Amino acid sequence: MDLEALAESVVKQAVRLGASDCDVIVTDAQAITAEIEKSSMKQASAVSDPGVGIRVFIKGCAGFSYCTGHESQAVKKAVSLAVSQSKSGTPDVDFKGLPEKAKPAKVAGLYEPKLAQLRHDDVVSMAIALSDRAGADRRITSVNAGVSVALGDIALANSNGFVGSQKLSAFEAFAESVARSNDDMFSGVDGGWSRRYDGRMLERVAETAKEHALLGLRKTTVKTGDYPVILDPMAAGFILATAIGGGANGESVQRKRSYLAGRLGKKVGSECFSVRDDPTIAWANGSFSFDGEGVPARKKNLVKKGMLESYLHDSYSAGKDSVKSTGNSSRGGSMWTYRRPPSISSTTLVVEPGDATPQEMLKDTKNGIYLRITYDYPNLATGEFSGLMMESYIIDKGELGPSIRQASMGIDLIEMFSAIDLVGKEAKDAYGVRTPSIRISKAKIAGSG
């Protein structure tokens, strides 16, 4: 089926029914997944998920509807529902229209044809190899792991004449190695994300999960106090995805829900802290040739040497501020979905690397904390972060010591960015952020020691 033709025809249907503006996404996506439980092959899955999502504006009011599949009667019903919803809401003069027709950017590395040739047993074999490697130590008693391959054809059309399509692929892997010693246990986790098959990534995920399961078996507690903290790329990625990706969301800023509101052009961090948003990186999971509203992909600086330079916009927030969309309308994740209306999101946030190796960072820190995993979100209204250090280690005389149990880190985000005094040179992709380790000169640690 010609997805672009279907998207165009659905736009026309919506306009005929009274839409002043409309965009339509048509997707045809498949995913294969292999899951390992307790070092044994557990499940192989194949999910096919075609669908159509329709967004309609009448007097600025947005109505959205979707249907699973491409069947014409279901699509027709969804168009009619979207139009009817947009008549039920309130007018919005802040809506200034959808993006004008533009040529998609040329971005390499969005789709790897080789992934389409993989069979179920190929993906199963990858998962088993990952698990075997993540469990290659007598102290590892269990490995839970998974590999998934996703492929998608995406077409987008809008009532300003934009019609475009792109093929996207994604390759993801995770491993959790569980180690036991006497009565204690600890797990090491790691994940990898790319738009292409990457054998080295699988090896790195396996080795890292194993290494940290074993490292974590030596345990300690820490006393409450102020410490220098090195954020591993996993922790830095998780925190910055929300702190910068969510904090710089143009709509949150306009509604004064973000701690970054009113700080454009102002200092928000130290000289060595620079972050850009970049959807043009080859094989990065956040890359695309056009965004969820058809705006060509382009990179932009968000924080340059500590200065806040830009917010992230889609057509709505850009129109409200009379600026151009930054191309940050997201259709959700690396593989786009038709199930949700678009919303503002970062693509791949890239933290400018420094020149310190991981060993140099530890040596230079001498005594402090190494935070590898947290799953806590900063409070974007207050600009504060307080969260559990799910996996963290003492830095003792420049070396990684035992893992810390039952401790948290708390810090104001602007203080945190301003306290960044050392940035590593080895970047890793984690949670949509390409970042090296970064060091904060001082953060409040609450401990049980």
Residues 307-366 that bind another protein (CB under 8 A): 339, 341
Q: Which residues are CB-neighbours of 231 under 8 A, at least 6 positions away?
A: 239, 371, 437, 438, 439, 440
Answer for which of 4, 20, 109, 141 binds another protein (CB under 8 A) is 141
d(CA 195, CA 234): 19
Secondary structure of residue 398 in the 3-state scheme: coil
Among the listed ranges 241-249, 273-281, 295-303, 384-392, the one in contact with another protein (CB under 8 A) is: 384-392
Interacting residues with another protein between 45 and 64 (CB under 8 A): 45-51, 55, 61-64
Q: How far is the CB of 257 from another protein (least distance, A)?
A: 5
Cα 262 to its chain centre, rounded Å, is 25
Is residue 387 within the footprint of another protein (CB under 8 A)?
A: yes
Interacting residues with another protein between 255 and 294 (CB under 8 A): 255-257, 259
DSSP string spanning 202-270?
HHHHHHHHHHHHHHTTSEE---SEEEEEEEPHHHHHHHHIIIIIITTBHHHHHTT-STTTT-TTSB-S-
Answer for which of 166, 187, 315, 330 binds another protein (CB under 8 A) is 187
- Which tokens sit at 39? 């070092």
Interacting residues with another protein between 215 and 234 (CB under 8 A): 216, 224
Q: How far is the CB of 266 from another protein (least distance, A)?
A: 13
Q: Which residues are CB-neighbours of 214 under 8 A, at least 6 positions away?
A: 137, 139, 140, 179, 188
Q: How far is the CB of 50 from another protein (least distance, A)?
A: 6
Q: How far is the CB of 123 from another protein (least distance, A)?
A: 9
Among the listed ranges 240-248, 288-296, 322-330, 402-410, the one in contact with another protein (CB under 8 A) is: 402-410
Answer for which of 15, 163, 185, 214 binds another protein (CB under 8 A) is 185
| Size of interface with another protein, in residues (CB under 8 A) | 87
- Which tokens sit at 341? 């209306």
d(CA 311, CA 313): 6
Under 8 Å between Cβ of 160 and 101: yes
Answer for which of 153, 376, 421, 429 binds another protein (CB under 8 A) is 376
> Residue 34 or residue 168: which is nearer to another protein going by CB?
34
Among the listed ranges 41-49, 191-199, 266-274, 347-355, the one in contact with another protein (CB under 8 A) is: 41-49
